[in-house]
Amino acid sequence: MHTYLLFHKPYGVLSQFSGDDTRPTLRDFIAIPDVYPVGRLDHDSEGLMLLTGDGPLQHRLSDPKFAHPRTYWVQVEGEITEAALEQLRQGVAVQDYVTRPAQVQRIPPPPLAPRDPPIRVRHSIPDGWIALTLTEGRNRQVRRMTAAVGFPTLRLVRCAIGELRLADLAPGRWRHLTPPELAALRAKVVEPRKGPPKRSFRR
């Protein structure tokens, strides 16, 4: 039987169980054997992680070709414009690639505890929050996307992986998936059935 966990990764924690003892890792929070992160969050990002030892499910959720959605709450520097949001929706040029179209909208500040350490504050420059849903996960992609449209990321929190939600899971805490959550997750990532081979008829 595989184990399936949701974990709220705090800021500054590495998304791995091994490390050099200079920064906290997953092993400082999770003492469950044979679970591994499905994808990663940068050390300076926070939020929802899924961990399991279910290899086929890990592959389906991690492989970009399956376009599994992930949603982020993003605090950006400046009052983001509709033009910038539309750029994100269409896809933006980041380094040597163009991102896939994203779902994005302005949101009020989400119900999060203050970050430790706190974000930098510049009283002369406002900030705002957006919800951004991606179906790909390149290195530091969200930060590069918001910077590309002129609104650098100040704080980044993953709040959803598909239908799984961060909800009230506190930073540094984990829980098992509920049976309905696991059933819904498996239903989303199941391989499509192939129909019977077509018969050829010779006339």
Q: What is the CATH number of the domain that holds 37?
A: 3.30.70.580
Cα-atom radius of gyration of the chain, to the nearest Å? 19
The answer on pLDDT for 123 being more than 80 is no
The answer on pLDDT for 200 being more than 50 is no
If asked whether residues 75 and 157 sit together in one domain, one would say yes
Count Cβ atoms below 10 Å from residue 107 Cβ, excluding itself. 13
What is the domain-level CATH number for residue 96? 3.30.70.1560
Query: What number of residues does the chain have?
Result: 203
If asked whether residues 91 and 122 sit together in one domain, one would say yes
For residue 129, the one-letter residue type is W
The answer on pLDDT for 20 being more than 70 is yes
198 vs 28: which has the higher pLDDT: 28
CA distance 65 to 62: 9
If asked whether residues 5 and 34 sit together in one domain, one would say yes
pLDDT-based confidence at 190, cuts 50/70/90? low
Residue 88: helix, strand or coil by DSSP? Answer: helix
Catalytic residues: 42
**Would you state the pLDDT for residue 32?**
94
> Where does residue 155 rank: exposed (0-12), middle (13-18), buried (19+ CB within 10 A)?
buried
Average pLDDT, the chain: 89
If asked whether residues 87 and 154 sit together in one domain, one would say yes
**Would you state the pLDDT for residue 196?**
55
The answer on pLDDT for 198 being more than 80 is no
If asked whether residues 55 and 17 sit together in one domain, one would say yes
- 179-187 long-range contacts (CB < 8 A, ≥24 apart) are 182/4, 185/4, 185/57, 186/57
**Would you state the pLDDT for residue 203?**
37
* 132 part of a folded domain: yes
If asked whether residues 156 and 167 sit together in one domain, one would say no
Model confidence over 54-79: pLDDT tens digits? 988 888 887 777 778 999 999 999 99
* 197 part of a folded domain: no
**Would you state the pLDDT for residue 177?**
96
Preceding omega of 110 cis (within 30 degrees of 0): no
pTM of the complete model: 0.89
* 183 part of a folded domain: yes
Give me the domain span that covers residue 33.
1-66+162-192
* 198 part of a folded domain: no
If asked whether residues 10 and 57 sit together in one domain, one would say yes
Count Cβ atoms below 10 Å from residue 146 Cβ, excluding itself. 26
If asked whether residues 142 and 180 sit together in one domain, one would say no
Q: Which two tokens stand for residue 109?
A: 């500040």
Domain count, the chain: 2
Q: Specify the range with the lowest mean pLDDT, choosing from 21-30, 68-77, 109-118, 186-195.
A: 186-195
* 201 part of a folded domain: no
Mean pLDDT, rounded, for 119-125? 79
* Residue 38 CA: distances (Å) to CA of 17, 125, 137, 182: 13, 36, 11, 14
If asked whether residues 148 and 186 sit together in one domain, one would say no
If asked whether residues 100 and 57 sit together in one domain, one would say no
* 149 part of a folded domain: yes
